[in-house]
Structure 1
Amino acid sequence: MPEAIEPDDLFAMTGLSRGAPKDGFPDHEMFPQVAYEIVHDELLLDGVSRMNLATFCTTWADDYARRLMAESLDKNIVDKDEYPQTAELEQRCVRMVADLWHAPDPAAHVGTSTTGSSEAAMLGGLAAKFRWRARGGAGTPNFVCGPVQVCWEKFARYFDVEMRRIPLRGDRLTMHPEDIAAYCDENTIMVVPTFGQTYTGLFEDVAGISAALDDIEAKTGLDIPIHVDAASGGFLAPFCAPDLVWDFRLPRVKSINASGHKTGLAPLGAGWAIWRERADLPRELVFDVDYLGGSMATFNLNFSRPGGQAITQYYDFIRLGRRGYSRVQNEIYRVAQHLADGLGASGLFEMIHDGDPRRGITAVSWRLRETQDFNLYDLSDRLRSRGWLIAAYPLPADRDDETIMRAVIRHGFTRDMVDLLLADMDRCLTLLRKHPLGLTRAEAGGFTHSATAAVPADQIASAHG
């Protein structure tokens, strides 16, 4: 009996004549072009990442960055003996970031690349806990913060540290220096200001917090360090607000984390943890590994990971330099301000953060000025129908009765795209006014209106990476 001939046309091939495997490990193989088409077509159901203004992460990369990522697909960054030049590029990046953040001696730095700022933040927290323990700390360690990304809740739970989160009060949307003293004691391992807050995009006052801790030390003798969570602001302020003091220029700042894959312009999976000097990273956190071919030090939470992100971050650094980053980042701020101007012109919204580079990151956040026949969840829901994903959520504790929206503007989002967004927003607002909540299906002309469910404030940051 002659062997069956597979059709030439892809969509007539056997693997596409049935549904994709879903419930168990498949028994049979299929042609690679068929497997690719199945996965490719299913991913069409995902949103367009560049229209996702809820995420902080990189959604655009040039062709050279993509080539480097593809060429580095098989490089394990932890294997420094086998891939010594990848390790060298990582260390060059660490020195460059230490220099960018005004480390006292960037050449004598200590730092590492990570999978993102969440891992980097946990490393900074662990170093603070170990330093506290080495000083004779006893009892339950704690750290003090304002509204923070969910990684800090993970750190507290995973590593048995009490998180003392200062609640918002009055018109305050960030942690304020004068609130800190009431939350600090002899078991406080660090204070964590957020330099680019997840909820609003605003910078917390690191210099003011440092001065408040100086006063606490003068009165009580407690020497409490600062770890700055600069997940987004760490690659913005050095270029767009260079006179803003938030980094290692403050002696009390012992460590900083940032996401290379946010405003650092690197692909997803790039983060950086930098310590002020070697003594600030306890030796107990460093492991020497000799079973990959040579002895090497590692102090990451995970082990094997791809080297392409650090390699491509180095490409970004040398391609743009200080001047290029300043030009690119300032343009992103101008695009954010254009969005803020358009929203303000509607008269409906009050700006919380308008994209001012001295006040926060390249984001815009806003609230409704007064009660309407719709809320911000409704607006977010209608915008999603046009492909735009813009988060609406309640503020953190003690202000969680108030809902805001936030759009994060990133590299690759242009002024023209803002104009398209504003036009779509105007269409959505017109529709919401024409068909307000409470109308029956018949009264609404066949259109029923359903508000998106509220997202708990403590889950807002979990989607940001």
Structure 2
Amino acid sequence: MALHRTDRFGDIYASPLSGAPLPKYRMPSGASDPRVAYQLVHDELALDGNAAQNLATFCTTWADDQIHRLMAESLGKNMVDKDEYPQTAEIESRCVHILADLWNAPDSRSTIGCSTTGSSEAAMLAGLALKWRWRQSRGANGDGRPNLVCGPVQVCWEKFARYFDVELRQVPLEDGAGGLRPHQLRDHVDANTIGVVAILGTTFTCEYEPVAALSRELDAIGRDTGLDIPIHVDAASGGFVAPFLRPELEWDFRLPRVVSVNASGHKYGLAPLGVGWVVWRSDHHLPEELVFRVSYLGGDMPTFALNFSRPGGEVIAQYYNFVRLGREGYHEIQQRCRDTAVRLGERIAGLGPFSLLYDGRDGLPAICYELTGADAGFTLFDLADRLRMRGWQVPAYPLPPARESTVVQRILIRRGISADTADLLFADLTSCLRELTSGPGDDAARAGFHH
């Protein structure tokens, strides 16, 4: 069937396709001019928010031209087909070893790990490995339902527990705490605990949980009870920040009790959306029963994943960043993000009605604050709505149990959020604050029309 052509003037908006709403429930019967189809879909997508103003997401929203080129050149590369695309497979392997070295694995050249579609899949794979190792250690006489102990976590761990029949023991927050604390562990672990999840960069306040202190407490519990409970570190964001900004901090494989680490390449790893990583201390910590060896597309392929076919471009882009930036480049980018976050936090704290819960210095490049006092005359939800009117996405939400009465607002600073962008946000936030605290008369004056 011939393509529907534009009108005789060649104008996209005079074409037949542009004369009616785009299909929503049924595929059109005929084909259309690709230029017209592209422009109309492009126009719809322009209604999305501006990624540069999205300060709610941890995810990468900026990439250089070379990454765009590599992604375009890699559209046909399937990560699962290692026989057909051996160099893409080699690049994935290099990334695993680079990350193992970055996270201080005992023998990074032989460490086992894999790429995933994101840190959520990586976390589930790590959780499955913990469950299998627990089952092996319990033996045929073991009974009871396995459990996983953690503080407030990202929803992927709730999914893992529900999908794979594990009890999730989420420890409530204590006053003044942003995450799990060591002295809370003893009341929650037992012989059926498959592991403890420590968060390097909590979703709610962006602080690092004290992994080394948690490890020491589990050592003490082991001496007292005989329980040998491993730690998995969910470093979805912090895994690409702490090694560059706090290299002295022991949170990774330097701690013998840490058996696995997951991270998002597409968060502070600076890669495009769609890549995560999980690395195990050694092949001993990834049970062989979980690894499938599939004869597919010309070769025998070991695989451990929740999906199968997926694009290779994101993995290639991750490797490009490693090669281009190196440790020095990652340090400079993350340092600039932290400096911007700290400066913004200081300015917001100086406005008066806000109190910083996290100032951006020791964890992720971010800030988190609450309203000071109960008589501000507005809520952080009101402020988030006002900022949204100006295009900014700055979420407000309650903290997890047992601090749910505290409502906070969080701002994430990532690559692409410059000091100038932060200043523009601060100017709008200040304007919103004036609007929310002004009297009705001032609102009426502002609403009036003036020549």
Tell me the residue number matched to 1:6: 7
Partner Cα distance (1:302, 1:339) in 2: 41
Counterpart pick for 2:413 among 409, 412, 425: 409
Q: How does 1:338-357 map to 2 (within 5 A)?
A: 338-356=343-361
Moved more, 248-257 or 333-342: 333-342
Partner Cα distance (1:141, 1:347) in 2: 48
1:5 shift after superposition: 7.6
SS in 2 for 1:180: helix
Tell me the residue number matched to 1:392: 396
Partner Cα distance (2:218, 2:319) in 1: 36
Partner Cα distance (2:337, 2:294) in 1: 42
Partner deviation per Cα, 1:24-76 (whole Å, 9 max, x = no partner): 22222211111111110001110001110000000000000111011111100
Partner Cα distance (1:296, 1:405) in 2: 46
Structure 1 stretches of 4+ moved >4 Å? none
Across the aligned residues of Structure 1 and Structure 2, the Cα RMSD in angstroms comes to 1.6
Tell me the residue number matched to 1:252: 257
Tell me the residue number matched to 1:51: 53
Q: Percent identity?
A: 55
Partner Cα distance (1:170, 1:397) in 2: 10
Tell me the residue number matched to 1:445: 444
AA aligned opposite 1:226: I
TM-score normalised to the size of structure 2? 0.95
Tell me the residue number matched to 1:39: 41
Question: How many corresponding residue pairs?
Answer: 439
Partner deviation per Cα, 1:1-29 (whole Å, 9 max, x = no partner): xx998331111111101111112222222
SS in 2 for 1:295: strand
Is the 1:393–1:403 Cα contact (8 Å) retained in structure 2? Answer: yes
1:381 shift after superposition: 0.3
Tell me the residue number matched to 1:373: 377
Partner Cα distance (2:368, 2:297) in 1: 48
**1:316 paired to 2:321:** yes
Partner Cα distance (1:55, 1:447) in 2: 33
**1:431 paired to 2:432:** no
TM-score normalised to the size of structure 1? 0.92
Q: How does 1:143-292 map to 2 (within 5 A)?
A: 143-292=148-297
1:447 shift after superposition: 9.2
SS in 2 for 1:424: helix
1:241 shift after superposition: 0.3
Partner Cα distance (2:98, 2:185) in 1: 32
Is the 1:338–1:418 Cα contact (8 Å) retained in structure 2? Answer: no
Partner Cα distance (1:160, 1:51) in 2: 39
Tell me the residue number matched to 1:461: none
Name stretches of at least 5 consecutive residues in structure 1 with no aligned partner: 449-465
Q: How does 1:445-464 map to 2 (within 5 A)?
A: 445=444
1:138 shift after superposition: 2.6
Q: How does 1:71-90 map to 2 (within 5 A)?
A: 71-90=73-92
**1:363 paired to 2:366:** yes
Partner Cα distance (1:443, 1:380) in 2: 21
| CA distance 1:220–1:5, change in 2 (3 Å) | closer
Counterpart pick for 1:126 among 99, 120, 128: 128
| CA distance 1:317–1:443, change in 2 (3 Å) | closer
1:323 shift after superposition: 1.1
Partner Cα distance (1:421, 1:250) in 2: 40
| CA distance 1:325–1:444, change in 2 (3 Å) | closer
AA aligned opposite 2:84: E
Name stretches of at least 5 consecutive residues in structure 2 with no aligned partner: none
Partner Cα distance (1:446, 1:27) in 2: 55
| CA distance 1:14–1:325, change in 2 (3 Å) | same
Is the 1:103–1:109 Cα contact (8 Å) retained in structure 2? Answer: yes
| CA distance 1:271–1:4, change in 2 (3 Å) | closer
